[in-house]
């Protein structure tokens, strides 16, 4: 290289001209953009979970509920065929027999009826069992408790923040709030008489006592925590055979 010439001149560029701008790596730009989108999505998911419910599992549960709801008419037909209304049984005995048949034969996660709580705007299909897979579909019936139409305690559990959060607002129930359970063999109306907070290991509210017909709802408490359980107890006030 000749002495006295600039680097620009030696490379064929006019002296004093700026170097061409460096081209940004498109892959790096894509990664930054994708990271931004993921971050915004996570923030939105968190806000929706706090103020409403977890949206992704809500979509999953909505699909499960649609499938379960379509199964209920078929279930009613099966029970009516097995214990027909034309039999010489009294309505009470017929309902009890159908409830017992349903209790003993429905597999985990299958539809058994619906729950309607006007106070909190809940309308949902109930499924058999309270294991993880069952509760992703809707409120679940505790094994070891009875079904409506039988003497004893009907126990139901449900999520409060995920999988549709069916029991999210059960803390708003008050004395006298109505809960309607519609089973394939009849409709049963309960009224709330007690609400309490207890430990997750306390199952005393689910124990059946003679000559009682009550409903118990349980859920984690407070929201976003499993440190406690909220327990809603309701008495049967009316029933109408199907």
Over range 101-117, report the average pLDDT.
97
Report the predicted TM-score, pTM, of the whole model to 2 decimal places.
Answer: 0.78
> How confident is the model over 131-148, as a mean pLDDT?
97
| Inter-residue contact 198 to 132 (CB < 8 Å) | no
> Which residues have C-beta within 8 Å of that of residue 134, sequence separation ≥ 6?
108, 109, 127, 128, 140
Q: Which helix (H) or strand (E) holds 213?
A: strand 213-221
Q: What does the pLDDT look like over 37-94, one tens digit per residue?
A: 655 444 444 444 444 458 889 999 999 999 999 999 999 999 999 888 777 899 999 9
**Cα distance between residue 78 and residue 191, in whole Å:** 30
Q: Is 238 exposed, middle or buried (0-12, 13-18, 19+ CB in 10 A)?
A: exposed
Which pLDDT value is given to residue 79?
93
Predicted local distance difference test score (pLDDT) of residue 84: 84
Q: Catalogue the active-site residues.
A: 159, 220
The arithmetic mean of pLDDT across residues 206-214, rounded, is 92
pLDDT (average), residues 152-170: 96
Residue 8 has pLDDT above 70, yes or no: no
């Amino acid at each position: 290289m000749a002495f006295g010439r600039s680097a620009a001149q030696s490379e064929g560029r006019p002296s004093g001209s700026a170097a061409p701008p460096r081209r940004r790596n498109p892959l790096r730009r894509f990664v930054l953009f994708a990271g931004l989108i993921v971050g915004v999505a996570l923030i939105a998911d968190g806000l929706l979970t706090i103020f409403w419910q977890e949206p992704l599992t809500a979509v999953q549960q909505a699909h499960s509920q649609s499938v379960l709801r379509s199964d209920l008419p078929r279930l009613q037909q099966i029970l009516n065929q097995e214990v027909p209304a034309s039999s010489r049984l009294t309505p009470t005995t017929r309902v009890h027999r159908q409830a017992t048949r349903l209790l003993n034969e429905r597999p985990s996660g299958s539809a058994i009826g619906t729950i309607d709580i006007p106070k909190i705007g809940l309308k949902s299909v109930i499924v058999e069992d309270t294991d993880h897979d069952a509760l992703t579909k809707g409120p679940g019936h505790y094994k070891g408790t009875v079904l409506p139409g039988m003497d004893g305690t009907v126990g139901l559990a449900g999520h409060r923040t995920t999988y549709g959060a069916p029991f999210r607002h059960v803390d708003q129930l008050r004395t006298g709030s109505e809960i309607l359970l519609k089973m394939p063999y009849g409709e049963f109306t309960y009224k709330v008489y007690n609400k309490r907070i207890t430990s997750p290991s306390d199952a005393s509210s689910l124990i059946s006592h003679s000559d009682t017909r009550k409903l118990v709802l349980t859920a984690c408490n407070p929201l976003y925590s499993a440190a406690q359980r909220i327990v809603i107890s309701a008495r049967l006030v009316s029933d109408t055979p199907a």
